[in-house]
Amino acid sequence: MLRIGLFLATNFAVLFVLSIVMKVLGLDQPGSGTGGMLVFAAIFGMGGSLISLLMSKTMAARAVGAQVIEQPSNAAERWLLATVERQAAAAGIGMPEVAVFDSPSPNAFATGANRDAALVAVSTGLLRQMSEDEVEAVLGHEISHVANGDMVTLALVQGVLNTFVMVFAHVLAAAIDRDGRGRHGAGYYLGYFAAQAVLGFLASLIVMWFSRFREYRADAGGARLAGRGKMIAALERLKAQSDPQGLPDSMAAFGISGGLGSLLSTHPPLEARIARLRAEA
């Protein structure tokens, strides 16, 4: 609830500051549509992000075809549930739902709006290609994401940036093309879409930076829950994959691996993650 409160406060602060900017620039004249834009940004910038977060478990499971383990049918599933339960208790969170999805690539993700009712899913490739120690470390990494509230925080960061991009694109476009009577010409719409594209790209850099930062924290959490040696071994195993297949784009930020380490990558390079864990030993 604290994160939600901070999120709402930050969004309203963004709207308040930008409304002042509009007033200073004379963009808040009657008929200018400024009030409607602020309402639109508040609804879609904040509301859209929150709705996506609330639907994240269902959307994620459907995206990869994950099947929640209701009753374990074999020793592997029993071990999986027992390991997640033990790690969740150690991390101080409620027992997440545990699911398996069919993929030849070793991967896993965690998602959910509530740290006490999250979803942790692993691929069949992960279970086949990794040892129990390595899978335990991957599960610890995902449990740490949940315990750190990373899914919630990432959604809130995205919501704040969505609000900023929509309103500030309007401010820039209106400043460029206005006729003094509150009407917008074709230049406004071209300017708006151009500004939104540029600002949206810059906002994505911030989101990706935060996503990479939280991966280091989750690695450290996995090391605490499963052991540093196991976490390093799991990352080394991922690094050994010659052509790993990632999760769908909508789920990339929630996986154990992904991306090439660029500014637009959701994950740091595996070499950097391994080096940091070794340096912290």
If one counts every other C-beta atom within 10 angstroms of the C-beta of residue 135, the result is 24
For residue 231, what is the enclosing H or E element?
helix 228-239
Question: Which one of 97, 142, 215, 280 is the catalytic residue?
Answer: 142
In one-letter notation, the amino acid at residue 29 is: Q
Distance CA 46, CA 53 (A): 11
Query: In 3-state terms, what secondary structure has residue 143?
Result: helix
| Cβ atoms of residues 251 and 193 within 8 Å | no
- CA 103 to each of CA 108, 127, 160, 257: distance values in angstroms, whole numbers, following the listed order: 10, 10, 34, 14
φ, ψ at 268 (rounded to 5°): -70, 165
Alpha helices in the chain (DSSP H): 2-24, 34-41, 48-54, 56-64, 75-91, 124-129, 132-147, 150-176, 186-226, 228-239, 270-279
Q: Is 85 marked active-site?
A: no
Dist. CA 191–CA 85, nearest whole Å: 52
Q: Which residues partner with 123 through β-bridges?
A: 101
DSSP E strands in the chain: the ranges are 67-68, 97-101, 108-111, 119-123
Task: For CA atoms 19, 24, 25, 28, give the dihedral sign.
Answer: positive
Do 113 and 151 form a contact (C-beta atoms < 8 A)?
A: yes
Residue 29: CA count within 13 A, CB half-sphere: 13
Among all residues, which ones are annotated catalytic?
Answer: 142
